[in-house]
């Protein structure tokens, strides 16, 4: 196949790319463009177009729109020269290079770079050099990836922050809680504090977290990470309303029966933006709350690792209870499915007597004077056994509930329902199981056991691990009533709760069963029949 010999270049396309743009300003791409434009002026070449791909690696395999437009223009004959800062800005994949050669070779397209010279893809020697440069670039990328992987493994083992986007609740260093201040000397700048690791039992100071146990006294759960003032060595305090404190508040609200939607609405109204300055969405909030880092646990390669070198926003039992709650497949997460009434899906039909609940239906009624209004009523999901107006029924249920909560012995009655959990025992069992799994994996990798032996040995250990995690997740009882009992004015506190938390209190405290009401106006002139509402206290 005959090819045109390279002639004098006349029209060029500039291509720029940068793998990472941490600031999002595109400054790296702009510098490349300026250097390539200077090269075009030096060669006396007209610039047909400039294409760029910002924050996209040539090695990642992700589509590069700018690069594809470059190839399309070359195929259409709109330019005879490509200008780039370096050959590795064009491609680091052998497959991409071969496609580039297939486009450039028959069209005698020249490739000129600012830092790596020129490529003549119309000759065998030129294509050989291009392929050698491509192999070298691929090697450099893979070697860099290996170094980064080893570095991340080491950092995970030491409980260190890997870097990246600022985590919500923490400063840009990933370890200092957001908005700290010192009660003793009044300092409140992030640089005024440092993270320290101490044993809760012997007060020994540690530099790195390489395990949960204290190296001095051997306490299996002794290590504690906290922030101290650099000046007076006083333990730092988190400012009220800070991101770090918001994580704790969100956990408390959800464990008390609140909803993600209510938290999102409140945070966006304040506002409390995400770490990138945007409004919250339910999915984003859920993902943030499920981070193991919130409990001071490193997550590496998708798995939980050892202890982290930053203060935890939540204790481990609270976080595991929260994770179990948010991971419940029966939990309603979409906005359209959120309940809008106190008793829908909670109140039961007394005639079905099998747990069938009621739903809310709406009807258009005409009142005196011809005014038409919409009225809501609870009705049995299975049949028309029961139909009751929603407003008076909800008011009656709330009145009964508040009367019950006002009892002086209510706290004792609720305490009798609680089951003690051995938190420390579950934590020790969980960590021992993880250490055993690590040892088994090391034996498998060293060839000291077969894959079948590893499967048999690890099965029982994984069962122990799952049982311990389940115990920890139950350690923090989801008790939506605790906040009400602690309030000076129970009714006022009830009125402050959103609907999701009120529903949780109802579900926690009582079972409400509805029976058909007596017909006609009842004694006292009311149409609401309280005797047809059975309340069973839990």
Distance of CA 321 to the CA centre of its chain: 16
Output the pTM of the full model: 0.63
User: Distance between CA atoms of 468 and 429, rounded to whole angstroms?
Assistant: 6
Q: Who's near 87: CB < 8 A, 6+ residues apart?
A: 111, 113, 116, 119, 130, 133, 134, 137
Encoding tokens for residue 354?
A: 């099998």
From the CB of residue 391, how many other CB atoms can be counted at a distance below 10 Å?
A: 13
CA dist 297 → 201, 262, 304, 311, 528 (Å):
20, 27, 7, 10, 55
Architecture per CATH, 243-338 = Alpha-Beta Complex (3.90)
User: Distance between CA atoms of 145 and 152, rounded to whole angstroms?
Assistant: 10
pLDDT score, position 25: 43
pLDDT averaged per 10 residues, the chain (length 538):
58 87 58 94 94 71 87 96 92 86 94 92 92 85 85 82 91 94 91 86 61 66 82 91 95 88 94 95 96 92 84 91 79 58 93 92 73 84 88 95 89 71 75 83 84 87 84 69 81 89 91 87 70 93
Tell me which residue of 348, 344, 341 sits closest to 510, measured CA to CA: 348
User: Distance between CA atoms of 489 and 197, rounded to whole angstroms?
Assistant: 41
Instruction: Please identify which residue in the block is written with the tokens 């929260």.
Output: 322
| Domain 11-144, classified CATH 3.40.50.150, yes or no | no
Tell me which residue of 19, 42, 16, 10 sits closest to 29, measured CA to CA: 16
Do the domains 243-338 and 11-144 match in fold? Answer: no
Domain boundaries, the chain: 11-144, 175-239, 243-338, 339-417+480-537, 423-473
Distance of CA 132 to the CA centre of its chain: 43
């Amino acid at each position: 196949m005959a090819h045109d010999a390279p002639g004098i270049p006349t029209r060029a396309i500039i291509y720029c790319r940068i793998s990472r743009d941490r600031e999002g300003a595109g400054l790296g791409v702009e510098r490349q463009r300026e250097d390539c434009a200077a090269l075009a002026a030096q060669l006396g070449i007209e610039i047909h177009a400039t294409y760029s791909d910002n924050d996209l690696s040539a090695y990642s395999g992700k589509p590069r729109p700018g690069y594809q437009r470059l190839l399309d223009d070359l195929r259409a004959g709109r330019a005879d020269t490509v200008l780039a800062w370096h050959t590795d800005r064009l491609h680091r994949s052998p497959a991409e290079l071969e496609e580039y050669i297939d486009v450039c070779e028959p069209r005698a397209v020249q490739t000129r770079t600012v830092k790596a010279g020129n490529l003549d893809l119309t000759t065998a020697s030129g294509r050989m050099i291009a392929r050698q440069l491509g192999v070298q670039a691929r090697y450099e990328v893979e070697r860099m990836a290996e170094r980064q992987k080893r570095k991340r493994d080491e950092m995970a083992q030491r409980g260190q922050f890997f870097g990246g986007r600022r985590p919500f609740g923490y400063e840009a260093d990933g370890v200092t809680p957001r908005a700290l201040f010192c009660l003793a000397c009044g300092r409140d700048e992030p640089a005024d504090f440092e993270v320290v690791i101490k044993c809760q039992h012997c007060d020994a100071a540690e530099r790195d977290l390489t395990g949960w146990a204290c190296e001095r006294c051997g306490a299996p759960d002794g290590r504690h990470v906290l922030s101290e003032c650099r000046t007076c060595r006083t333990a730092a305090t988190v400012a009220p309303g800070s991101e770090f404190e918001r994580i704790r508040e969100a956990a408390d609200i959800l464990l008390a029966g609140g909803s993600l939607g209510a938290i999102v609405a409140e945070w966006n109204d304040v506002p409390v933006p995400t770490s990138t300055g945007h409004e919250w969405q339910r999915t984003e909030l859920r993902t943030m709350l499920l981070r193991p880092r919130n409990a001071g646990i490193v997550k590496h390669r998708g798995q939980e690792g050892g202890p982290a070198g930053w203060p935890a926003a939540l204790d481990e039992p609270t976080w595991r209870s929260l994770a179990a709650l948010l991971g419940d497949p029966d939990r309603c997460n979409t906005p359209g499915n959120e309940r809008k009434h106190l008793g829908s899906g909670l109140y039961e039909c007394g005639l079905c007597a099998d747990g069938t609940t009621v739903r809310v239906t709406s009807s258009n009624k005409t009142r005196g004077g011809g005014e038409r209004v919409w009225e809501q009523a609870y009705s049995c999901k299975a049949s028309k056994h029961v139909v009751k107006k929603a407003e008076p029924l909800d008011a009656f249920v709330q009145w009964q509930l508040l009367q019950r909560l006002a009892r002086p012995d209510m706290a004792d009655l609720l305490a009798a329902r609680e089951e003690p959990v051995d938190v420390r025992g579950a934590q020790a069992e969980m960590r021992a199981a993880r250490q055993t799994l690590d040892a088994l994996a090391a034996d498998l990798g060293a060839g000291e056991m077969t894959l079948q032996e590893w499967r048999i040995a690890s099965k029982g250990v994984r069962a122990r691990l799952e049982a311990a995690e389940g115990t920890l997740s139950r350690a923090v009882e989801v008790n939506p009533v605790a906040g009400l009992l602690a309030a000076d004015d129970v009714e006022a506190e009830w009125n402050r709760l959103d609907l999701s938390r009120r529903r949780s209190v109802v579900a926690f405290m009582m079972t409400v069963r509805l029976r058909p009401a007596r017909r006609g106006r009842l004694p006292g002139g009311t149409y609401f029949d309280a005797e047809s509402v059975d309340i069973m206290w839990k």
